[in-house]
Every structure is written in structure tokens, then in C-alpha cells.
């Protein structure tokens, strides 16, 4: 792997950095305070090409390689994880799935509008009683003469209130287990599609999170993404992209923690000198740098493998596991460097801490990432009783 970015990749990264500084940083505290899903900012992100970063230009995307996508997501993640979540869901969980599994007609119908931000997408896998055990879908899709009718419920779905397009996973034949699951591209204007905001989250206050009730939602045969029975694999391959994106965003949180801590430590004086001169403060900063650099290297490795077309599920889980846990540890350390000032939202480290917390939960908990890695190493599936 070549660690030197190309001129184009540096330009992409620097552009995303300037965009984050100019458009995101200023808004993020107020949006979090007001629990505001910032539609105008989402539109600006779309104009930058970040909602369809890895989608080829012929379908309206930016046509970036995965490494460049990761560079963009790191920058946005440094600014605001709520906006980074929009990119991760729209680009990785929705667009990458349609790109990989969709028919030509589906790609032409959905991708340009998703990439331009005209349509928002959401990913409906998780249910009230189905989290880590994603194959155990309770939502049912029943065959009709004209297509399918879906009944069930989804939970913790980012952007469900704003989405025009929802990828909904549902069981078509419970006897078949995960081989009975199908993924449907659902128009959320359909009667029976009912999102409801989930209130009182610990973090990601500027991100929209909802449950969805599905009551006799009708879809046609043309709305099946991939094969009937192949929905679980669609979900897993979308998550291979989504977990990479979450990991890259967490590198951004880690870096933000370093930058904010260095700045504060040089300004803040105690015992007659800047706290940056104390060895214990420097040790905290060094710990953060270590976690940031290691996380970034793991993200780059996963991105490089994706760009080479190599199998990378394990490496993506390694990157996701390390970067998400590191973001939480860095945010904790950064608050420690800031002392009392880090406990209020005058500095971004308070928000980093709250926003980082969900990243070890969504798109597969840290424990699920460990089981994926453990199974790859041992060949033994710990989820199947011996
Ligand atoms: N790509 C393609 N196919 C894959 C795959 C991948 N990465 N991983 C597994 N598969 C295939 C397997 O090859 C297998 O295929 P066969 O039927 O041909 O053998 C099939 O899928 C079943 O695989 P497993 O035996 O591994 O399935 P499992 O039931 O043991 O589950 C799991 C594995 C890793 C625990 C999985 O259920 C999982 O990832 N759980 C966590 C779910 C998750 O991340 N949810 C987050 C939802 S998104 C979100 O957070 C909401 C949001 O809006 C942000």
C-alpha cells in the first residue's frame, strides 16, 4: 500500500477540510443545541458531491475511490457527526447497495436523485426486537398478485422522517431463515409508511432518528433490490461500506480531539505556565495522536482493499472497531485536557464525546465486530451453539 496521497486525493481532502471549516463548524453547536436536522446544510453537502461520493458519475455521483471517500468523511466527521451520519447512510447504506445490487433501471431511477440530495434515503434493517441478530427479521413481506405487501416495524432508523426512499428488509418466508429475507426499495409516500421521531438521545442531536411503522405498505416486484431471499447479503454488503464510513468519521473525531486539545493546552495557563508544558497533559495528547494515527491507517487499509476489489469484511470490522472505540477514548481524554471547560458545549469536545458514543453501537456493535474478526481468525462462528 502506498501511503502517499495523490495530488487529486490531497485536493479532495483539502476541499472537504475547507468546506467543513466554512460551512459545518459554525453551525454544529447551534444545530445540536436546537436538535435541528439541518436540511440546508444537507443540500450544501449534496452540492459538494458528498452524498454520492463513490457512485460513478454516469449515475450522478462523484465517482471517487474509497480512499478518497474516507478522506472526505474524516473531514466531515471532525466537523459534525450528525452531518457525517447523513453521508454514511445515504452514500454507503443506500447508494452503494443500489449500485451493487440494483437493476440498470433502479440505478437510473434512484441514484441521480439520491446523489443530488433531491431525495434522502434511509436503511431499514434494525427492528424493536432485532438488533445484532439482523437475520431474525420480524417484518413480513407477503406476495400479492401485483407485488408485495409489507407489515412490521423498524427502529433507530437515521433520516426516516426525511427520506423519500427507504430500503426495507423483510422476511418473505420464515422457514428459510436469512435466505427468506428480501430488500425492498420503498417510496415513503406510500400509505402505511409511518415514521416517528425518537426523542431524548444522548448525542447526535442534529441527526434525525426515527422508528417506522409499516402497515400494509404495497410495493411492486420491480421494487425488490437484488434477489428475493438475497436481502440479508444486500444488508451485509451495504454494512461493509457503512462501517468503513463510520470508521472514517471517527478518525475525524479523534483528530478534532487532538487539535482542540493542543489549542486549548497552549492557551490555558495554570501554575503560571501553559498546561501544554505539563508532562501529564502531553501524555494525554500523545495517547490521542496514537489512537488517531492507528485508526486512520486501519481505515486506509480497508479503503485500499475496497479499491482493489479484495474481500475486506474483516479489515473493515477491524477499522470500525478500533476507530469507534478510539473516538470515544479520545473524546474522554480531550475533555480531561479541557477540564471544566470541556464539560459544556463552548468547546466541541463535549459534543464529540456524546456523538462518539453511538458509533460503537450503530452499524454493528463493537462486540459484533469482534465476533466477525474472531470468526475470520478461528473459522468458528461463536453465534451458532456448539
Ligand atoms: N457481504 C456479503 N454477504 C455476507 C457478508 C458480507 N459482508 N457477511 C455475511 N454474508 C453472508 C454469508 O456468506 C452467509 O451467506 P450464505 O447464506 O450463502 O451462507 C449469510 O450472509 C449469512 O451470514 P452469517 O452466517 O454470517 O449470518 P449471521 O446470522 O451469523 O449474522 C452478523 C452475522 C455479523 C452477526 C450480522 O447479523 C450482523 O452484522 N449483525 C449486526 C447488524 C448491524 O450491524 N446492524 C446495524 C443496522 S444499520 C444502523 O445502525 C441504522 C442506521 O440508520 C445508522
Spell out the domain ranges in the chain.
7-120, 122-228, 233-378
Q: Whose CA is nearest to atom 25 of ligand 1?
A: 381
For Cα atoms 166, 169, 172, give the angle at the middle one, nearest 5 degrees.
135
Residue owning grid cell 481532502: 13
**Span 244-284, pLDDT tens digits:** 999 999 999 999 999 999 999 999 999 999 999 999 999 99
Which residues make Cβ contacts (< 8 Å) with residue 142, sequence separation at least 6? 148, 149, 150, 151, 172
Q: 181-187 and 140-143 as β-strands: parallel, antiparallel, unpaired?
A: unpaired
Q: What is the chain's Cα-based Rg?
A: 21
Residues framing ligand 1 (Cβ under 6 A): 89, 123, 125-126, 132, 134-135, 156-158, 178-179, 232-233, 236-237, 239-240, 313, 362-364, 368, 372, 383
Q: Whose CA is nearest to atom 20 of ligand 1?
A: 233
In the structure, what pLDDT confidence band is assigned to residue 143 with cuts at 50, 70 and 90? very high
Residues 15-25: what's their mean pLDDT? 97
DSSP string covering 20-37: IIIIIHHHHHHHHHTT--
Contact of 150 with 191, CB cutoff 8 Å = no
What pLDDT, on a 0 to 100 scale, did the predictor assign at position 106?
A: 98
Residue 35 CA to residue 90 CA, distance in Å, equals 20
Q: Whose CA is nearest to atom 15 of ligand 1?
A: 233
Contact of 263 with 339, CB cutoff 8 Å = no
Sign of CA dihedral 115, 19, 334, 323: positive
Residue 149 Cα to ligand 1 middle (Å): 24
Residue 223 CA to residue 307 CA, distance in Å, equals 29
CATH architecture classification, 122-228: Beta Barrel (2.40)
* pTM for this predicted structure: 0.97
Residue 233 Cα to ligand 1 middle (Å): 7
Domain 7-120 CATH (choose: 1.10.540.10, 3.40.50.80, 1.20.1090.10, 3.30.750.24): 1.10.540.10
Contact of 242 with 91, CB cutoff 8 Å = no
Residue 268 Cα to ligand 1 middle (Å): 47
pLDDT at 144 over 80: yes
Q: Assign domain 233-378 to a CATH class.
A: mainly alpha
Average pLDDT, the chain: 97
pLDDT at 313 over 80: yes
What pLDDT, on a 0 to 100 scale, did the predictor assign at position 13?
A: 98
Residues 342-358: what's their mean pLDDT? 97
pLDDT at 386 over 80: no
pLDDT at 385 over 90: no
Phi, psi (5° rounding) for residue 54?
-95, 5
Residue 123 Cα to ligand 1 middle (Å): 14
Specify whether 363 is catalytic: yes
In the structure, what pLDDT confidence band is assigned to residue 1 with cuts at 50, 70 and 90? confident
For Cα atoms 146, 147, 152, give the angle at the middle one, nearest 5 degrees.
135
pLDDT at 151 over 90: yes
Residues 198-223: what's their mean pLDDT? 97
CA-nearest of 317, 325, 324 to 301 is 317
Residue 315 Cα to ligand 1 middle (Å): 15
DSSP string covering 325-338: HHHHHHHHHHHHHH
pLDDT at 2 over 90: no
Residue from 133, 204, 233 whose mutation best tests the ligand 1 pocket (most atoms within 8 A of CB): 233
What pLDDT, on a 0 to 100 scale, did the predictor assign at position 310?
A: 98
CA-nearest of 332, 365, 362 to 349 is 332
**Nearest ligand 1 atom, CA 243:** 44
Amino acid at each position: 500500500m502506498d501511503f502517499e496521497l495523490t495530488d487529486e486525493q490531497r485536493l479532495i481532502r483539502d476541499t472537504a477540510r475547507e468546506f467543513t471549516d466554512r460551512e459545518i463548524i459554525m453551525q454544529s453547536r447551534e444545530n445540536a443545541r436546537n436538535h435541528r436536522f439541518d436540511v440546508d446544510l444537507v443540500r450544501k453537502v449534496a452540492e459538494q458531491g458528498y452524498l454520492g461520493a463513490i457512485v460513478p458519475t454516469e449515475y450522478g455521483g462523484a465517482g471517487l475511490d474509497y480512499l478518497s471517500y474516507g478522506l472526505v468523511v474524516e473531514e466531515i466527521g471532525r466537523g459534525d457527526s450528525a452531518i457525517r451520519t447523513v453521508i454514511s447512510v445515504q452514500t454507503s447504506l443506500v447508494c452503494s447497495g443500489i449500485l451493487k445490487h440494483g437493476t440498470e433501471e433502479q440505478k437510473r431511477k434512484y441514484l441521480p436523485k439520491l446523489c443530488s440530495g433531491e431525495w434522502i434515503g434511509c436503511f431499514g434493517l434494525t427492528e424493536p426486537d432485532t438488533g445484532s441478530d439482523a437475520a431474525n427479521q420480524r417484518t413480513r413481506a407477503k406476495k400479492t398478485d401485483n407485488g408485495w405487501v409489507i407489515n412490521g416495524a423498524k427502529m433507530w432508523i437515521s433520516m426516516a422522517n426525511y427520506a423519500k426512499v427507504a430500503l426495507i428488509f423483510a422476511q418473505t418466508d420464515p422457514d428459510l431463515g436469512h435466505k427468506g429475507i428480501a430488500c425492498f426499495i420503498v417510496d415513503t409516500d406510500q400509505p402505511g409508511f409511518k415514521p416517528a421521531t425518537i426523542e431524548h438521545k444522548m448525542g447526535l442531536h442534529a441527526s434525525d432518528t426515527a422508528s417506522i411503522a409499516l402497515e400494509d405498505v404495497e410495493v411492486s416486484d420491480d421494487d425488490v433490490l437484488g434477489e428475493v431471499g438475497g436481502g440479508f447479503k444486500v444488508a451485509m454488503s451495504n454494512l461493509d461500506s457503512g462501517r468503513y464510513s463510520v470508521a472514517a468519521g471517527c478518525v475525524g473525531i479523534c483528530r478534532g480531539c487532538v487539535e482542540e486539545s493542543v489549542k486549548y493546552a497552549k492557551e490555558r495557563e495554570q501554575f503560571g505556565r501553559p498546561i501544554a508544558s505539563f508532562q501529564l497533559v502531553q501524555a494525554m495528547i500523545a495517547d490521542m495522536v496514537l489512537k488517531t494515527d492507528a485508526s486512520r491507517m486501519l481505515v486506509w487499509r480497508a479503503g485500499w482493499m475496497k479499491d482493489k476489489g479484495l474481500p475486506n469484511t474483516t479489515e473493515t470490522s477491524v477499522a470500525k472497531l478500533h476507530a469507534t472505540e478510539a473516538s470515544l477514548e479520545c473524546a474522554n481524554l480531550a475533555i480531561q485536557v479541557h477540564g471544566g471547560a470541556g464539560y459544556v458545549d463552548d468547546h466541541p469536545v463535549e459534543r464529540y464525546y456524546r456523538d462518539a458514543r453511538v458509533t460503537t453501537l450503530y452499524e454493528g456493535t463493537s462486540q459484533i465486530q469482534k465476533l466477525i474478526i474472531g470468526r475470520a481468525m478461528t473459522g468458528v462462528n461463536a453465534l451458532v451453539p456448539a
